[in-house]
Structures are given as C-alpha cells and as structure tokens.
Amino acid sequence: MALLTLLMLTLEVSKSQSCPRSCNCYRANEVHCTFRSLLTIPPGLPSRTRRMNLGFNSISRLNDKSLVGLKRVELLMLHSNDLQRLPDGVFKDMKSLQILKLSYNKLREISSSLTFSGLTSLLRLYLDHNLLQHIHPRALLQLPSLRLLRLQGNRLHQLHPHTLCTLSFLNTYYVSTVRHLDLSNNSLTTLPKECVTTAPLLETLFLQANPWSCDCRMKWFLSWSLAHPGNRHV
C-alpha cells in the first residue's frame, strides 16, 4: 500500500512538471509555444514555469482558470494573438510576474479596475498595437511596481487624469511609478496635466503621431517641459 501511494504521488508530481504536448521546454522552467496555431492556452502548464512564450498563435480568449497556479512565472508573452478582452482577475495568481507582453492583439478596452489584480511585481506592461479606445481610470492601480508602459499604436482618444496612476492613498492622492511611457501613434488631441505631474519618476515620454490640438488645454505642457529638461519627451 505504501509503495502504491508513493507511486501515485510520483506520477502526480511528474504530471505537474511535464511539458504540454503542443509546446517545447528546451530549458527547465521555460515553456515555448510559439507558432502552434493555438486557440487557447494549453492545459497542464508546469507550476515551476518562470518564462512562458505563447506569442504568434490564434488565442482569442482567456478564462479565469487559464493561468491559475502559475505563481512563479516572471515573463509572460501573449503577443500577436487574437485576444479581444481580459477577464477580471485572470492574472490573480501571478504574483511573481515582472514582464507582460500583450502587444499586437485585438483588445478594445481595459474595462475594469480588476483586470490586472494580483500583478504586484509587474515592472513592464506592453499593450501596444491593439485597438484600445478606453482604459479604466483605476486599472493600473493594481500595478504598484510598474516602470514601463507601452501604449503606442492604439486608438486612444482621451485619458482620464488618473489613468496612468499606479498607487492611490486614501482614494485622494494618486501617483504613477512609471519611468518610461509611450503614447505615440494614437488619436489623442489633448493630455491631462495630471498624467505627467503625478509621475515624479518619469524619464521618457513619447507623444508623436497624435493629432494634438494646440490650445489652452495643452498650455501646461510647455512649462512642464522647461521645468524638466532632463526628461526625454518626443
């Protein structure tokens, strides 16, 4: 009986550590599933995984169990898929995630304040080249460690003053921890002053290829630029 129990435990451990059939695991802790025509995230991803590349597939949806248990993943690449929405809490187990790449999908909005819940260690978020028109004003408040945010190549028309904030104190004081921000190639005509004045760590800001309106709403930008000569803004 003891031998049978040990054998069953060994099989369970082996199963939880095996590589999904549709992927390659060239190195321990890495899973590569690119160019496999996947429609969903493959089941049975090893819990030990730290780096996961699911780019260049046809994944169109995530559900609340797609990424459950992946507490050690530090890099998740889901670029060049067909994702149209992100369910609330889909990343809730990914406490170790530092880089999330969602570039070149079909996301139209980040509609909830809970979309990125759980990602307390996230440093880099790539949302560029989607179809984004709206980002919930509190969506990034789940990302207190965020340093790089790529939003270029979307369809953003406007931003709420607190959209880019990653920390909130008593729901009164809002701060962004972002150092590098790319808003280029959108449909922005103006930018709320708070988007940059709440970001004391900001070093680079890309704004080109937007249809800016040179009116009183952007008057603040000249004085801000002169007051921050060390910042790179294009």
Tokens of 206: 């890309």
Q: Residue 228's pLDDT is what?
A: 79
CB 81 within 8 A of CB 54: yes
Residue 139: which residues within 8 A CB-CB, separation 6 or more?
A: 110, 112, 113, 115, 116, 163
Given pLDDT bands bounded at 50, 70 and 90, which one contains residue 6? very low
For 226, the enclosing helix (H) or strand (E) is: helix 219-227
* Other beta carbons within 10 Å of 63: 11
In angstroms, the CA 11 to CA 16 distance is 9
CB 182 within 8 A of CB 210: no
DSSP string of 43-109, one letter each residue? S---TT--EEE--SS------TTTTTT-TT--EEE--SS------TTTTTT-TT--EEE--SS---E
pLDDT in tens, 219-231: 888 888 888 776 6
Q: Bigger pLDDT: 122 or 220?
A: 122
Rg of the Cα atoms in the chain: 20
Strand 232-233 and strand 148-150: pairing?
A: unpaired
Mean pLDDT along residues 213-221: 87
pLDDT in tens, 131-184: 999 999 999 999 999 999 999 999 999 999 999 999 998 878 999 999 999 999
pLDDT in tens, 78-93: 999 999 999 999 999 9
Q: Is the dihedral of CA 156, 159, 165, 170 positive or negative?
A: negative
Which has the closest alpha carbon to 219: 191, 198, 196?
A: 191
Which has the closest alpha carbon to 150: 175, 116, 180?
A: 180
Q: Which of 12-26, 84-98, 201-215 has the lowest mean pLDDT?
A: 12-26
Given pLDDT bands bounded at 50, 70 and 90, which one contains residue 215? confident
